[in-house]
Chains A and B, each alone.
Chain A
Amino acid sequence: MNALPVNEHVEQPLLEVRDFQVELITDAGIVRAVDAVSFSIHRGETVTIIGESGSGKSTTAMGLLGLLPEDLAVLSGSVRIDGVDVIADRKAIDKVRGRTLALIPQDPMTALSPVHSIGNQLSEAIRIAGAASKDPGAVRARAIRLLEQVHIPTPDAQLKKYPHQLSGGMLQRVLIAIALASEPQLLVADEPTSALDVTVQAGILDLLLELQEQRGIGILMITHDLGVARLISDRIHVMKDGAFVESGEVQQIVENPSTEYTRKLLAAVPVLGAWDETPAATTLTTTGASND
């Protein structure tokens, strides 16, 4: 499971999305939330979709995970996860979720069932993954090991706890541990740090990078935060109104944005500096900085 050199893309991509389209049936009519997007992610790569609220980035993620309500979302195009087209065969997603593919959700505080313990929900993920034996002792040992891997202190004691007893940052680590239970090859991180304090965000991103380095996991990162995108991405797709307006390597997008929209997103990043600095550099425009 070592990370492969980034340029060696001879193998098939972990995720290959072609002309993916999501139409949502709303009271106001049919809305094309995602309009023919194409991208791919290989082992060990992080690809980021960045855009402001309502640009369709989260819908893209939820769509390819098959998590949009079936009666309200019409999906088309092709999404190949490890070679399996989950749009052509809608049942195929069941075999991929919780095995090849895992989700790290947006708001850790609401992402775990409040009436079941951490250990309970983690063990369930371990049993679904089928990696460890079903023996309770083995499952528990694996649960503790997973919590250790995401750097949760005293994992033993945490298993008994319930979600309301942990902080947002800790819960996000638990959710990452749950995601890792299945030894996934691809993680979809839907704004994994947007609900967390700034100091905690860095820790979670470090953890994701560390896990990627160790395991060569591919990551699809959804964010509105260019700081996050810059830190961890190999490639960035800038999304607006359901379509990619700009795609490319991080460096290229950041240093030489080709569209006005990307320039605005770049300008929305707060810059730390003296109070008397020129207004352009210190603008704290927050157009793109709210959650979906």
Chain B
Amino acid sequence: MTKYILKRLGQGLLTVFLTVSTVFVLVRLAPGDPAVAYAGPLATTEQLAKVREQFGLDLPLIQQYWIFLQQLFTGNLGTSYSFQAPAIQVVLERLPYTLTLATASILLTAVVAIPLGVWMSRRPDTKKEFGVNVLTIAGQSMPDFWTGIMLLTFFAVLIPIFPASGFATWSALVLPTVTIAILQIALISRMVRREMTTNFAAPYLTVARSRGVRNSLLTWRYAMGNSAIPVFTALGTRFAAMLNGVVVVEVVFAWPGVGSLIVRALETRDYPLIVATVLVTAVLAVGVQLLIDLAYPLLDPRIRLGKAATA
């Protein structure tokens, strides 16, 4: 087990390193000049050259990368151009906001989507199920910037019960969370429904029913117990994706998280900040994925105890 974890950590480090290196090169190849963004449109050629020299952007790409690698091993990713502070520190200050939003969203998703999916699987092809099904398709089809703006219009402007932006009070968490969760609930509930339907048709369920197991136990213990892995994986993967910054929603609600930070970093061509954001989110994504994989043995005895071939 320890060997497995070490191997996975090694793979993870490699993934993060390659991601960060790729981004390091790509942002420099992309059009746009950080010096112009920093010094403003009215800056003279001399001023721009000075800024470039200050940021080390006048050096050849390979030399910049070499400096970056040396910095990387000391945990320093350079100074953010626009914040004039260590880039990694700027990102870490924003991280709790994104973590909060992602956690709230995934919890809301799980709490609503799992019972909803189970409910749908128990009433297949009824009118009510059809209605909910249509709603989930609608939920999947609404772009999150539009959902966000609609929620803002109704619940922050017309009926001002929630703040429109920022994160000054806990109530500000509600609208962005709901915006993210609507799409996720639509996706996850349909997946839960599919998994439950499959498991309800499995022989062991019929046999359990034949020995008088109650419907509620058949649903939650048997069908859910056997649907747990794919559902858990889906929730975990979506959580990891949210940690990479729920960019659109964070921008719509001016949420001070990593998502809105990366937008600003890109706009200002703040190379160190872009790389630092990518590094942090990549580490989180790899970490969460590892945790998900480590949780499988807890959910499935076939993985825990081996000899899975006969199952």
Residues of A within 8 A of B (CB): 62, 65, 67, 71, 94, 97-99, 102-103, 105-107, 109-117, 121, 124-125, 128-129, 162-165, 175, 178-179, 181-182
Residues of B close to A71: CB separation below 8 A: 125
* CB atoms of A114 and B211 under 8 A apart: no
**Number of A-B pairs, beta carbon distance below 8 Å:** 87
In the complex, chain A residues whose CB is within 8 Å of the CB of B202: 110
| Cβ–Cβ < 8 Å partners of A164 in chain B | 301-302, 305, 307-308, 310-311
Whether B207 sits at the interface, judged by CB under 8 Å, is yes
Note all chain A residues with C-beta closer than 8 A to B221.
Answer: 113, 116
* Residues in B265-311 with C-beta less than 8 Å from chain A: 299-302, 305, 307-308, 310-311
B206: A residues at CB distance < 8 A: 62, 67, 105
The answer to whether A114 and B209 touch (CB under 8 A), given A162-B305, A165-B305, is: no
Residues of B within 8 Å of A103, CB to CB, are 207, 210-211
Which of A94, A111, A163 sits near B212, CB closer than 8 Å? A94
| Complexed CA–CA distance, A103 and B204 (Å) | 12
Q: Which residues of A contact B212 (CB under 8 A)?
A: 94, 97-99, 128-129, 182
CA distance A125 to B47 in the complex (A): 82
- Surface stretch bound by A, among B19-27, B187-195, B222-230, B233-241: B222-230
What is the distance, in angstroms, from A245's C-beta to the closest C-beta of chain B? 28
Contact A114 B210 (CB under 8 A): no
How long is the Cα–Cα vector from A71 to B205 in the complex, in angstroms? 17
Which residues of B sit under 8 angstroms from A113, Cβ to Cβ?
Answer: 204-205, 208, 221-222, 225-226
**Binary flags per residue of B221-261, CB closer than 8 Å to A gives 1, else 0:** 11001101000000000000000000000000000000000
A67 touching B301, Cβ below 8 Å: no
User: Nearest CB to that of B299 among chain A residues?
Assistant: A115
Which residues from A are CB-within-8-Å of B301? 114-115, 117, 162, 164
Which residue of chain A has its CB nearest to the CB of B210? Answer: A103
Known: A113-B222, A114-B301, A164-B311. A67 touches B228 (CB 8 A): no
Residue B85 CB within 8 A of the other chain: no
Q: Complex: how many Å from CA A181 to CA B206?
A: 17
A111-B207 contact given A117-B301, A164-B302, CB 8 Å threshold? yes
Docked pose: A71 CA to B299 CA in angstroms = 33
Across-interface contacts of A109 in B (CB, < 8 A): 310
The smallest C-beta distance from A173 to any residue of chain B, in angstroms, reads: 15
Q: Are A65 and B226 in contact (CB under 8 A)?
A: no
Contact between chains at B211 and A111 (CB < 8 Å): no
State in angstroms the CA–CA spacing of A67 and B210 once bound together: 7
Which of A102, A107, A162 contacts B211, CB < 8 Å?
A: A102
Given known A113-B204, A113-B226, A116-B225, contact A98–B211 (CB-CB < 8 A): yes
B228 cross-chain contacts in A, Cβ below 8 A:
115
Q: Does B60 sit at the interface, judged by CB under 8 A?
A: no
Overall SS of chain B's interface: helix
CA separation between A132 and B52, bound complex, in Å? 83
Q: Name 9 interchain pairs, CB-CB below 8 A, sorted by A.
A: A67-B210, A99-B212, A103-B211, A105-B206, A107-B203, A110-B203, A113-B204, A115-B228, A162-B302
Interfacial chain B residues near A163, Cβ < 8 Å: 311
Query: When chains A and B are docked, how far (Å) is the Cα of A266 from the Cα of B94?
Result: 79
Give which listed residue, A99, A112, A182, contacts B207 with CB less than 8 A.
A112
- Whether A114 lies near B311 (C-beta < 8 A) is yes
> Least Cβ distance of B173 to chain A in Å?
35
Cα–Cα distance between A162 and B210 once the two chains are bound (Å): 20
Whether, in the assembled complex, B213 has its beta carbon less than 8 Å from a beta carbon of chain A, the answer is: yes
- Shortest Cβ distance from residue A196 to the other chain B in the assembled complex, whole angstroms: 14
Instruction: Tell me if A179 and B311 are in contact (CB < 8 A).
Output: no
- Contacts A164-B307, A165-B307; is A105 near B209 (CB within 8 Å)? no
With the chains together, A102 CA to B202 CA distance in Å? 18
Which residue in chain B gives the minimum CB-CB distance to A112? B204
**Closest partner residue, chain B, to A115 (CB atom):** B225
Separation of A107 and B311 alpha carbons in the complex (Å): 12
Question: Within the complex, what minimum Cβ distance (angstroms) separates A160 from chain B?
Answer: 10
Using A117-B301, A164-B307 as known contacts, say yes or no to A111 and B213 having CB atoms under 8 A apart.
no
The one of A115, A121, A128, A182 that contacts B226, using a Cβ cutoff of 8 Å? A115
Chain B residues contacting A105 (CB-CB under 8 Å) are: 203, 206-207, 210
Question: Contacts of B310 on A, CB cut-off 8 Å?
Answer: 109, 164
In the complex with contacts A67-B206, A105-B207, A113-B225, A128-B213 CB distance below 8 A: yes
**Distance (Å) between the CB of B31 and the closest chain A CB?**
53
B211 touches A128 (CB 8 A): yes
Complex contact A124–B213 (CB within 8 A): yes
- Of all A-B residue pairs in the complex, the 6 with the closest CB atoms, nearest first, are A98-B212, A103-B210, A164-B311, A98-B211, A162-B301, A110-B203
Given A111-B203, A111-B207, 12 extra CB contacts under 8 A: A97-B210, A97-B211, A98-B211, A107-B203, A110-B202, A112-B204, A112-B207, A115-B300, A164-B307, A165-B307, A175-B207, A182-B211
Tell whether, in the assembled complex, residue A110 and residue B204 are in contact, meaning their CB atoms are under 8 Å apart: yes
| A113 to B308 Cα, complex, angstroms | 14
Q: Which residue of A lies closest to B203 (CB)?
A: A110
* A205–B107 alpha-carbon span in the complex (Å): 52
In the complex, A71 Cα to B300 Cα: how many Å?
32
Alpha-carbon gap, A97 to B208, bound state (A):
10
- Chain B contacts of A112 at CB under 8 A? 204, 207
A102 touches B210 (CB 8 A): yes
Whether A114 pairs with B302 at a CB distance below 8 angstroms is yes
